[in-house]
């Protein structure tokens, strides 16, 4: 047996501003229920004028260190995962290092490794696996490493993606013998295909997305990764054969959530695939009818076909689905409905949402992760909730942060979205936080970002 490694704690940062989804829908002449029920989004987190992905990452990291009473010498790596990096060369992790040294002293973090990982929304899960493997190898020179997922989801005004926008960062504290979640590396499954479902050209501030096609890619890659996860479970004797159900081995789960209904789609497709051929599946199709034919269709074409979507709609209404969904998925979406899409951070915010909103005893349960990134790749992996987890959860405060935000009108949101407010024109002036304060304008620093901790 190798070392037990995993997540010891986590800390989330949310912008203090939000847009009400119903108000945005009315402004865009969209039926509000199309967003609140069709997508499952109630509020969209919006960064202020002084905020970017780097300030959010630094704030999440600072909170994580402070609540665990850590000093720089305790940290081996600070690895950032993002798809909204402000620089095509310099990683956000170095900006974060510089910001933290304003608190802990110049040069206090000069010993850390500081890479940045990019693979759309799955990037933080890749970074997590890399860091945990490093710790398990024994190569780490300090007890802790930190992986931070930080992103701002931004789409063109009046576009179909606009109602899914959001922003957040979440920092994960990694170590041997963690108090929160112990990783099960031997089961991890991957699914990766070169595809064009979503991308952001370097010259663009907004993403290019083919919505329905991207949903199909998500479901295809997740199935490939889930199959690999299941094969690994069989290989190691946790399942006796591929004819057994994986979901029965999982106590709760979090999926990448570009919008909350997507997590429902993903879990439904997972269960359809997992239960196919089991005795319970025969009873289900007797009630809702047989699965549609795949003949002549690629995986993506099948998953976005009206026939499959209609079948899935009937499936999610069954008692069998609802029981699994409510016990294993629903609590992960409580926070995500109030944030919108946060790319790399969303699956891990779902994890924290579970911990903060569930009252049942989770110790010993297997926590499944379904992480997806466009372009495209999925990871299905799992952790075991540790006996000490309740002590860690006591200091989590994501739900409090959600309640303390300020609602902004649509015109202010549009000014922020379009960059019409200068850095010093924040809706809520920065206080006790890192802020982007200026851009370099000389030949040697043109465009460089300067940050300051504002007291």
Segments making up each domain of the chain, as ranges: 5-454
| Residue 376 preceded by cis peptide, ω within 30 | yes
What's the confidence (pLDDT) of residue 443? 97
- Beta-carbon contacts of residue 177 (< 8 Å; ≥ 6 apart): 4
Confidence of residue 205 (pLDDT cuts 50, 70, 90): confident
Closest C-alpha among 448, 424, 421, 374 to residue 46:
421
Query: For the residues 123-150, what does the mean pLDDT come to?
Result: 98
Beta bridge partners of 271: none
What mean pLDDT, rounded, does the chain reach? Answer: 96
Q: What 3-state DSSP class applies to 349?
A: helix
What's the confidence (pLDDT) of residue 71? 98
DSSP 240: S
What is the CATH architecture of 5-454? 3-Layer(aba) Sandwich (3.40)
In this structure, the chain runs to a length of 455
Range 84-92, long-range pairs (CB < 8 A, 24+ positions): 84/52, 84/53, 84/150, 84/151, 84/152, 84/153, 84/154, 84/343, 85/53, 85/116, 85/118, 86/52, 86/53, 86/54, 86/449, 87/449, 88/202, 91/115, 91/116, 92/53, 92/54, 92/57, 92/116, 92/150
Distance separating alpha carbons of residues 131 and 119, to the nearest angstrom: 16
pLDDT tens per residue, range 361-395: 999 999 999 999 999 999 999 999 999 999 999 99
Query: For the residues 341-362, what does the mean pLDDT come to?
Result: 98
Distance separating alpha carbons of residues 188 and 206, to the nearest angstrom: 32
Closest C-alpha among 414, 453, 436 to residue 46:
414
% residues pLDDT > 90 (the chain): 95
Q: What 3-state DSSP class applies to 295?
A: coil
Has residue 276 got a pLDDT over 90? Answer: yes
Has residue 1 got a pLDDT over 60? Answer: no
Query: For the residues 196-225, what does the mean pLDDT come to?
Result: 87
What's the confidence (pLDDT) of residue 65? 98
What's the confidence (pLDDT) of residue 197? 83
Beta bridge partners of 373: 377
Distance separating alpha carbons of residues 197 and 209, to the nearest angstrom: 6
Confidence of residue 106 (pLDDT cuts 50, 70, 90): very high
Report if pTM > 0.75. Answer: yes
Has residue 202 got a pLDDT over 90? Answer: no
Query: For the residues 297-311, what does the mean pLDDT come to?
Result: 97
Distance separating alpha carbons of residues 407 and 194, to the nearest angstrom: 39
DSSP 246: S
């Amino acid at each position: 047996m190798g070392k037990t490694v995993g997540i010891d704690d986590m800390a989330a940062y949310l912008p203090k501003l939000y847009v009400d989804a119903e108000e945005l829908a009315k402004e865009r002449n969209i039926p509000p229920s199309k967003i609140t029920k069709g997508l499952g989004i109630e509020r969209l987190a919006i960064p202020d004028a002084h905020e970017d992905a780097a300030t959010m990452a630094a704030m999440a990291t600072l909170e994580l260190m402070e609540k665990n009473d850590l000093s720089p010498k305790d940290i081996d790596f600070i690895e950032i995962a993002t798809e909204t990096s402000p620089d095509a060369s310099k990683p956000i992790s170095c900006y974060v290092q510089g910001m933290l040294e304003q608190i802990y002293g110049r040069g206090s973090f000069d010993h850390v490794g500081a890479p940045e990982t990019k693979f759309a929304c799955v990037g933080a899960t890749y970074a997590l696996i890399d860091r945990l493997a490093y710790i398990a190898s024994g190569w780490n020179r300090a007890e802790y490493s930190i992986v931070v997922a930080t992103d701002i989801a931004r789409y063109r005004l009046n576009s179909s993606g606009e109602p899914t926008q959001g922003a957040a960062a979440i920092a994960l504290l990694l170590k041997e013998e963690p108090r929160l979640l112990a990783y099960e590396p031997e089961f991890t499954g991957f699914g990766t295909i070169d595809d064009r479902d979503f991308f952001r050209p370097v010259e663009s501030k907004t993403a290019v997305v083919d919505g329905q096609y991207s949903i199909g890619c998500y479901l295809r890659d997740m199935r490939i990764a889930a199959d690999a996860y299941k094969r690994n479970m069989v290989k190691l004797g946790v399942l006796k054969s591929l004819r057994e159900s994986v979901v029965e081995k999982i106590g709760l789960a979090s999926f990448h959530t570009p919008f909350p209904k997507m997590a429902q789609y993903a879990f439904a497709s997972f269960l359809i695939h997992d239960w196919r051929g089991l005795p319970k599946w025969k009873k289900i199709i007797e009630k809702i009818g047989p699965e549609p034919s795949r003949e002549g269709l690629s995986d993506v074409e099948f998953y976005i076909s009206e026939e499959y979507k209609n079948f899935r709609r009937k499936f999610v209404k069954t008692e069998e689905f609802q029981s699994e969904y409510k016990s294993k998925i629903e609590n992960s979406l409580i926070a995500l409905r109030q944030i919108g899409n946060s790319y790399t951070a969303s699956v891990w915010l779902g994890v924290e949402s579970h911990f903060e909103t569930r009252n049942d005893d989770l110790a010993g349960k297997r926590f499944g992760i379904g992480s997806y990134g466009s372009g495209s790749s999925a990871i299905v992996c799992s952790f075991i909730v540790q006996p000490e987890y309740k002590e860690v959860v006591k200091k989590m405060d994501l739900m409090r942060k959600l309640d303390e935000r300020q609602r902004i009108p649509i015109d202010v949101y549009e000014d922020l979205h379009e960059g019409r407010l200068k850095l010093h024109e924040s809706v809520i002036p920065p206080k006790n936080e890192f802020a982007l304060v200026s851009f370099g304008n000389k030949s040697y620093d043109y465009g460089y970002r300067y940050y300051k901790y504002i007291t």
